[in-house]
């Protein structure tokens, strides 16, 4: 058992220590309907044209890649789209039951031992972000074959799956041997009802866990390697999708994952019609707000085209609008828009902002966000800074703006 584990770790190590020389992974994320799938496809088409052997993966509900590329039969088997471009549509639920049914059944057994109805037990055993995690694990699987040098992943809902990348570390530090996820879960179930009988994990469950942890370990190394992986945010010119993308930026920063670009998609052009022109003016202010919010990330602006964006030709033009003659696999930004430093029981947060102390600004905290509003000659721009959960029981004790850097100190309330 221990011997097998060593072999596993050794393989993982050999597998991941050199991947940034050959693998480029770009993940598009953002709120529903903002244009992640079409932007992922457009990026992949352009990358293939730049000579990268590219795989585009979507974990959206069935057919989305087929719809966007207007090609039949893009499914579970990789399908060639054009030279150097392959597409793969995965179904996270199938993926999960194919590979991790043993663990999931065990978790469900724990809950059902507590008298929870079995159907419900399966629902509870599925943690938030778990289905996304299985689309990420596909990357580790594809990565092992080294068939592609570039992967573009269209990832629904932002961030939640990223926390699982820390599982191997967490479980490893507790003692990877016999306590895995099953150990964590039986502990969790004990909290509910200390006297009830918890089924003991079988050999299969433990082995399946070990494999999962090893795969997560490799995945985590790939995603945290800033030379290999970049997250790109997709938003529309509206308050909600900008806020959602901003939160993804904050989570990625907490986890140490590079974000190298934001795309503001579906911007309406001005119009002679009063109704449409009012929208265009509103959206223009949202684009400005997005630029302030994503600062200093490069922000690509894309218009709402006259027709629905789909089909290879239109996607290629979308790629031109986004990247021109640039290679989409370049890393467009490498800095840290957010930085969190723990100092004893305090947290120091540094955020890059497009303002300086000379501007007329105001800082306010509302629950889990900080708003900086700045008066410009034309209007008032609001920059929303999402706060990490760790600051929930803390008070904002100092805030200082110096040279495009906002420094905020959070201290524990006693």
Pairing verdict, β 229-235 and 150-155? unpaired
CB of 266 to ligand ATP, least distance (A): 5
Q: Are 273 and 78 in contact (CB under 8 A)?
A: no
Pick the binder of ligand ATP from 37, 150, 229, 391 (CB under 6 A).
Answer: 37
- For the chain, counts of helices (H) and of strands (E): 12, 15
Q: Are 105 and 114 in contact (CB under 8 A)?
A: no
Residue closer to ligand ATP, measured from CB, 307 or 325: 307
DSSP code for 316? H
**CA quadruple 119, 101, 173, 113: dihedral positive or negative?**
positive
Residue closer to ligand ATP, measured from CB, 304 or 399: 304
CB of 398 to Mg ion, least distance (A): 42
Beta strands in 258-375 (DSSP E): 259-267, 299-303, 338-343, 346-352, 360-366, 369-375
- Report helix, strand or coil for 169: helix
Task: Give the phi and the psi of residue 337 in degrees, each rounded to 5.
Answer: -65, -30
CB of 38 to ligand ATP, least distance (A): 4
Residue facing ligand ATP at closest CB distance: 37
403 binds ligand ATP (CB under 6 A): no
Residue closer to ligand ATP, measured from CB, 38 or 103: 38
60 binds ligand ATP (CB under 6 A): yes
Q: How far apart are CA 382 and CA 385, in angstroms?
A: 10
DSSP code for 163? G
89 binds ligand ATP (CB under 6 A): no
Residues 300-329, one symbol each (x = binds ligand ATP by CB under 6 A, - = not), give --x-xx--xxx-------------------
**CA quadruple 355, 232, 255, 221: dihedral positive or negative?**
negative
CB of 307 to ligand ATP, least distance (A): 7
Which of the listed partners (ligand ATP, Mg ion, none) does 298 bind, with a CB threshold of 5 to 8 Å by partner kind?
A: none
205 binds ligand ATP (CB under 6 A): no
36 binds ligand ATP (CB under 6 A): yes
Q: Are 22 and 226 in contact (CB under 8 A)?
A: no
Task: Give the phi and the psi of residue 139 in degrees, each rounded to 5.
Answer: -65, -40
Residues at the site binding Mg ion, with contacts judged by CB under 5 A: 36-37, 60
Residues 249-288, one symbol each (x = binds ligand ATP by CB under 6 A, - = not), give ----------------xx----------------------
38 binds ligand ATP (CB under 6 A): yes
CB of 36 to Mg ion, least distance (A): 5
Residues at the interface with ligand ATP (CB under 6 A): 32-38, 60, 156, 265-266, 302, 304-305, 308-310
């Amino acid at each position: 058992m221990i011997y097998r584990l060593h072999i596993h770790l050794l393989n993982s190590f050999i597998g991941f220590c050199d991947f940034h020389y050959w693998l480029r992974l770009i993940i598009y994320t953002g709120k529903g309907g903002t244009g992640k799938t079409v932007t992922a496809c457009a990026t992949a088409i352009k990358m293939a044209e730049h000579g990268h052997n590219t795989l585009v993966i979507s974990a959206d509900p069935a057919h989305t890649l087929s719809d966007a590329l207007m090609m039949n039969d893009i499914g579970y088997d990789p399908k060639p789209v054009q030279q150097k471009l392959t597409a793969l549509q995965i179904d996270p639920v199938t993926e999960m039951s194919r590979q991790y049914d043993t663990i999931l059944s065990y978790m469900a057994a724990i809950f059902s031992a507590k008298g929870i109805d079995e159907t419900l037990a399966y629902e509870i055993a599925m943690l938030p972000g778990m289905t996304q995690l299985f689309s990420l694990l596909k990357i580790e699987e594809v990565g092992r074959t080294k068939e592609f040098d570039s992967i573009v992943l269209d990832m629904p809902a932002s961030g939640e799956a990223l926390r699982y990348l820390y599982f191997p570390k967490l479980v490893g530090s507790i003692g990877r041997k016999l306590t895995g996820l099953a150990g964590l879960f039986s502990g969790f179930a004990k909290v509910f009802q200390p006297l009830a009988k918890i089924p003991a994990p079988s050999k299969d469950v433990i082995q399946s866990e070990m494999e999962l942890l090893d795969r997560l370990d490799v995945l985590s190394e790939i995603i945290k390697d800033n030379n290999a992986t970049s997250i790109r945010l997709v938003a529309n010119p509206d308050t909600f999708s900008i806020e959602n993308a901003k939160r993804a930026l904050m989570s990625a920063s907490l986890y140490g994952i590079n974000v190298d670009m934001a795309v503001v998609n579906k911007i309406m052009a001005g119009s002679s019609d009063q109704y449409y022109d009012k929208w265009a003016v509103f959206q223009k202010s949202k684009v400005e707000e997005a630029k302030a919010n994503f600062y200093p990330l490069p922000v690509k602006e894309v218009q709402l085209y006259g027709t629905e964006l789909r089909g290879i030709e239109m996607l290629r033009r979308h790629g031109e609008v986004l990247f021109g003659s640039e290679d989409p696999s370049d890393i467009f930004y490498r800095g840290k828009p957010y930085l969190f430093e723990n100092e004893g029981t305090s947290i120091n947060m540094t955020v890059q902002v497009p303002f300086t102390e000379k501007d007329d600004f105001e800082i306010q905290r509302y629950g889990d966000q900080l708003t900086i509003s700045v008066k410009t000659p034309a209007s008032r721009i609001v920059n929303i800074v999402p706060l990490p959960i760790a600051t929930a029981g803390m008070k904002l004790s100092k805030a200082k703006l110096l040279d495009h850097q906002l420094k905020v100190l959070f201290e524990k309330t006693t």
